[in-house]
Structure 1
Amino acid sequence: MNNWIVKLTVYILLFYNLLFGTNYAFANQAANTYVAQSNNLPGIEQLATAEYRFKENRKEDLWRYREAIKGTDKLEGLFTIYRGEEDSKIYLELKPEQLNKNYLCTVTLESGIGESGIYSGLPLQDFLFYFRRVNNRLHFVVRNVKFRTEQDEPELRSLARSFSDSVLYALEIDSIDPYSKNILINLNHLLMQDFPGLTSLLKYYLRADYRLEENTSYFGDVGSFPFNLEIESVYSFSSPEGAYLVTLPDSRALTLKVHYSFSQLPENNGYIPRLADDRVGYFITAFQDFSKNNGKEPFVRYINRWHLEPSDPNAPLSPPKKPIVFWIENAVPLEYRDAIREGVLMWNQAFAKAGFQNAIEVRQMPDDADWHPADVRYNTIRWFNSLDAGFARGPARVNPLTGEILDADIIVDANMVRSIQQEYRALIAEKVGAEHLGDCGVMPNSQFPIQNSDSDICYGAEFSDQAAMGALALSLLQNATPTSDEMKEYVHQYIRSLIAHEVGHTLGLRHNFHGSTMLAPQELNNTEVTHTKGLVGSVMDYLPVNIAPQGTQQGDYFPAVVGPYDEWAIEYGYKPHPDFSVEAMMPEAEKPFLEKIALASPQPELSYATDEDIWDINPLANVWDMSSDVLVYSQWQMDNARAMWQRLDLHYPLRGESYSDLRVLFSSILRYYFRNASLLTQYIAGQSFGRHHADESMRPSFVPVSLEQQRQVLAKLQEYVFAEDAFSFPPQLLNQLAPSRWQHWGNFIPVSRLDYPIHERIQRFQAVILRSLLDSDRLNRLRDIEFKTPPGQALSMPVLFSTLQEDIWTEVVNTKEPKPISSLRRSLQREHLNILLDMVLRTTDVPEDARTLAWFELRQLRKAIDAGLKHQNENLDIYTQAHLEETSDRITKALNAGLLSR
Structure 2
Amino acid sequence: MRLLLFGFLCSIVLIPCTCVSAQKAAEKLPTIAEKTADMALSEGFFNYYWSDDEGKIYLEIARFGEEFLYVNSLAAGLGSNDIGLDRNQLGDSRVVAFERVGPRVLLKQRNLEYRAISDNADEANSVRDAFAQSVLEGFKVVAKTEDRCLIDLTPLLLSDAHGVIERLKRNKQGTYKVSADRSAIYPERTKNFPKNSEFEATITFTGEASGSQVRSVTPTSESFTLRMHHSFVELPDDQYRPRVFDPRSGYYERSYADYATPIDQPLIKRFITRHRLEKKDPTAAVSEAVEPIVYYLDRGAPEPIRSALLEGASWWNQAFEAAGYRNAFQVKILPEDADPLDVRYNVINWVHRSTRGWSYGSSVTDPRTGEIIKGHVLLGSLRVRQDFLLAQGLIKAYGADGITPDPRLEELALARLRQLSAHEVGHTIGLAHNFAASTNQRASVMDYPHPYVTLEKGQVDFSQAYAVGIGEWDKQAIRYGYADFPVGTDEAAGLQAILTESDSLGLRYVSDPDARPAGSSQAEAHLWDNGADPIVEMNRLLVLRQHAMDNFGPENIPYGMPYSELESVFVPVYLMHRYQVEAVSKMIGGYTYDYAVREPDAPKVITPVHPHRQEAALNVLLKSLSPEVLAVPHHVIALIPPPALGYSRNRELFNTRNGGGFDPLAMAAAACDNTLAFLLHPHRLARLVEQGTQYPQTQNLAISGYLERIASTLEDQVRQNKTGYPAALAETAERRMVAHLLQLAADKSASEDVQAAALAALISYRGRSEPRAYLNLPHGPHYRYLITQINNFLSDPGSVELRPALELPDGSPIGCGELH
TM-score (norm 2): 0.86
Structure-1 residue corresponding to 2:625: 722
- Rounded to whole Å, the distance in 1 between the matches of 2:723 and 2:411 is 52
Q: Does structure 2 retain, via aligned residues, the 8 Å contact 1:812–1:819?
A: no
Cα distance in structure 1, aligned partners of 2:614 and 2:158: 61
Q: Deviations over 1:820-842 (max 9, x none)?
A: 981121222223234445566x5
Q: 2:315 pairs with 346, 349, 353, which one?
A: 346
Question: Cα–Cα, structure 1 residues 747 and 637, in superposed 2: closer, same or farther, change >3 Å?
Answer: closer
Aligned length: 761
Q: What is the rounded CA distance, in whole Å, between the counterparts of 2:544 and 2:368 in structure 1?
A: 51
Q: Residue 391 of structure 2 contacts residue 409 of structure 2 at CA under 8 Å; is this kept in 1?
A: no
CA distance, structure 2, for counterparts of residue 818 and residue 414 of structure 1:
49
User: Bigger CA drift: 398-407 or 197-206?
Assistant: 197-206
User: 1:731 maps to which residue?
Assistant: 634
Distance 1:512 1:193 in 2: 39
- Pairs within 5 Å for 1:144-155: 144-153=111-120, 154-155=122-123
Q: Distance in 1 between matches of 2:761 and 2:27?
A: 95
- Name the counterpart of 2:68: 103
Between stretches 467-476 and 753-762, larger displacement belongs to 467-476
- The within-5 A match list for 1:644-659 is 644-649=548-553, 651-659=555-563
Give the match for residue 781 of structure 1: 687
Distance 1:865 1:382, change over 3 A: closer
Q: Cα RMSD over matched residues?
A: 3.2
Structure 2 counterparts to residues 253-402 of structure 1, below 5 A: 253-268=223-238, 270-366=239-335, 369-402=336-369
- Alpha-carbon separation, structure 2, partners of 1:474 and 1:560: 23
Q: Label 1:239 to 1:716 Cα distance change in 2 as closer, same or farther (>3 A).
A: same
- Match in the other structure for 1:756: 662
Say whether 1:598 aligns with 2:499: yes
Could you tell me which residue of structure 2 aligns to residue 159 of structure 1? 127
Distance 1:807 1:56, change over 3 A: closer
Matched, 1:406 2:373: yes
Q: 632-641 vs 191-200, which deviates more?
A: 191-200
1:760-771 equivalent positions in 2, closer than 5 A: 760-771=666-677
Question: Contact 1:391/1:415 (CA < 8 Å) preserved in 2?
Answer: no
Residue 294 of structure 2 contacts residue 330 of structure 2 at CA under 8 Å; is this kept in 1?
yes
**1:335 CA displacement:** 2.1
* Gap change, CA 1:185 and 1:469, over 3 Å in 2: same
Would the aligned equivalents of 1:477 and 1:640 in 2 still touch at CA under 8 Å? no
Q: Distance in 2 between matches of 1:197 and 1:850?
A: 43
2:21 and 2:743 mapped to 1: Cα distance? Answer: 87
Query: Aligned-pair distance for 1:332?
Result: 1.4
Corresponding letter in the other structure for 1:220: Y
- Answer whether contact 1:307 1:404 (CA < 8 A) is retained: yes
Q: In the aligned structure 1, how far is the partner of 2:685 from the partner of 2:706?
A: 9
CA contact (8 A) 2:448 2:527 kept: yes
Instruction: State the SS of the aligned residue for 1:644.
Output: helix
Contact 1:779 1:846 in 2 (8 A): no
> Partners of 1:196 and 1:867 in 2: how far apart?
64
In 1, the alpha carbon distance for the partners of 2:394 and 2:346 equals: 36
SS at match of 1:635: helix
1:569 matched residue in structure 2: 477
Structure 1: gaps (5+ residues) = 1-51, 420-463, 520-535
Q: What are the residue-to-residue correspondences of 1:244-643 with 2, within 5 Å?
A: 244=212, 245-268=215-238, 270-366=239-335, 369-417=336-384, 419=385, 464=386, 468-475=389-396, 486-519=408-441, 536-551=442-457, 554-577=462-485, 579-580=486-487, 590-603=491-504, 605-614=506-515, 615=517, 616-643=520-547
Q: Distance in 1 between matches of 2:98 and 2:562?
A: 62
2:49 equivalent among 56, 77, 82: 82
Give a deviation string over 1:366-401, Cα, whole Å, max 9, x none: 4xx333111111111222322125332211110111
Q: Which among 49, 52, 61 is matched to residue 94 of structure 1?
A: 61
> Is contact 1:242–1:252 with CA below 8 Å preserved after alignment?
no
Q: Offset of 1:707 from its aligned partner?
A: 0.9
Alignment pair present for 1:213 and 2:169: no
Distance 1:56 1:891 in 2: 86
Percent identical = 25
For residues 135 and 563 of structure 1, do their structure 2 counterparts lie closer, same or farther at Cα, with a shift above 3 Å needed? Answer: same
Q: Which residue identity does 1:171 align to in structure 2?
A: F
- Shift in Å at residue 654 of structure 1? 4.1
Q: Secondary structure at the match of 1:639?
A: helix
Distance 1:493 1:242 in 2: 40
The SS at the match of 2:627 is coil
Residues 402/749 of structure 1: CA separation in 2 closer, same or farther (3 Å cut)? closer
Aligned to 1:170: 138
Amino acid in structure 2 at the alignment position of 1:93: E
* Counterpart-to-counterpart distance in 2, 1:379 and 1:806: 58
Q: 1:155: how far off?
A: 1.8
Give the C-alpha shift of residue 176 in structure 1. 1.0
Structure 2 segments unaligned to the other structure (5+ residues): 1-19, 798-820
Describe the shift of the 1:776–1:734 C-alpha distance in structure 2 as closer, same or farther (beyond 3 A).
same
1:197 and 2:163 are equivalent in the alignment:
yes
Contact 1:102/1:129 (8 A) holds in 2: yes
The one-letter code of the counterpart of 1:108 is S
How far does the alpha carbon of each residue in 1:469-526 deviate from its partner, in whole angstroms, 9 at most, with x for none? 234335479999997654443333121111000110010001111112113xxxxxxx
Task: Give the Å deviation of 1:851.
Answer: 4.8
Question: Is the contact between residue 529 and residue 579 of structure 2 (CA under 8 Å) also seen in structure 1?
Answer: no
Q: Partner of 2:576: helix, strand, or coil?
A: helix
Of 591, 608, 614 in structure 2, the residue corresponding to residue 687 of structure 1 is 591
What is the one-letter code of the residue matched to 1:804?
I
Residues 1:830 and 2:740 are matched in the alignment: no
2:521–2:589 CA contact under 8 A, matched in 1:
yes
| Alignment TM-score, normalising by the size of structure 1 | 0.78
Q: Please report how far the alpha carbon of residue 57 of structure 1 lies from its aligned counterpart in structure 2 after TM superposition.
A: 8.0
Q: How big is each residue's C-alpha offset from its partner over 1:83-102, in whole Å with a ceiling of 9 and x where there is no partner?
A: 1333312211111xx11111
CA deviation profile, 1:193-239 (whole Å, cap 9, x unmatched): 33333332333346212221222211113211110101111112212
Q: 1: distance between equivalents of 2:755 and 2:184?
A: 65
User: Alignment partner for residue 113 of structure 1, among 70, 74, 78?
Assistant: 78
Is the alpha carbon distance of 1:133 and 1:734 closer, same or farther for their aligned partners in structure 2, counting shifts above 3 Å?
same
Mapped partners of 1:241, 1:542: distance in 2:
35
Q: CA–CA distance in 2 between the matches of 1:212 and 1:822?
A: 59
The letter of the residue matching 1:203 is K
Partner AA of 1:415 in structure 2? L
CA deviation digits over 1:405-426, x for unaligned, max 9?
A: 0012212222222x3xxxxxxx
Deviations 1:555-595 (A, max 9, x none): 32112111111111100000011x326xxx9xxx6323222
* Cα distance in 1 for residues equivalent to 2:708 and 2:444: 40
Verify the 8 A CA contact 1:706 1:793 in the aligned structure 2: no
CA distance in 2, matches of 1:835, 1:613: 24
Describe the shift of the 1:734–1:302 C-alpha distance in structure 2 as closer, same or farther (beyond 3 A). same
> Which AA in structure 2 matches 1:156?
A
The 8 Å contact of residues 395 and 548 in structure 2, kept in 1 or not, is answered as no
- Distance in 1 between residues matched to 2:748 and 2:474, nearest whole Å: 43
CA–CA distance in 1 between the matches of 2:471 and 2:559? 44
Structure 1 range deviating more: 883-892 or 706-715? 883-892
**By how many angstroms is 1:781 displaced?**
0.6
Q: Which is further off, 388-397 or 69-78?
A: 388-397
In structure 1, C-alpha distance between the alignment counterparts of 2:472 and 2:240, rounded to whole Å: 27
Give the CA deviation at 1:306.
Answer: 0.6
Secondary structure class of the residue paired with 2:450 = coil
Q: Which moved more, 1:325-334 or 1:136-145?
A: 325-334
For residues 711 and 322 of structure 1, do their structure 2 counterparts lie closer, same or farther at Cα, with a shift above 3 Å needed?
same
Name the counterpart of 1:805: 711
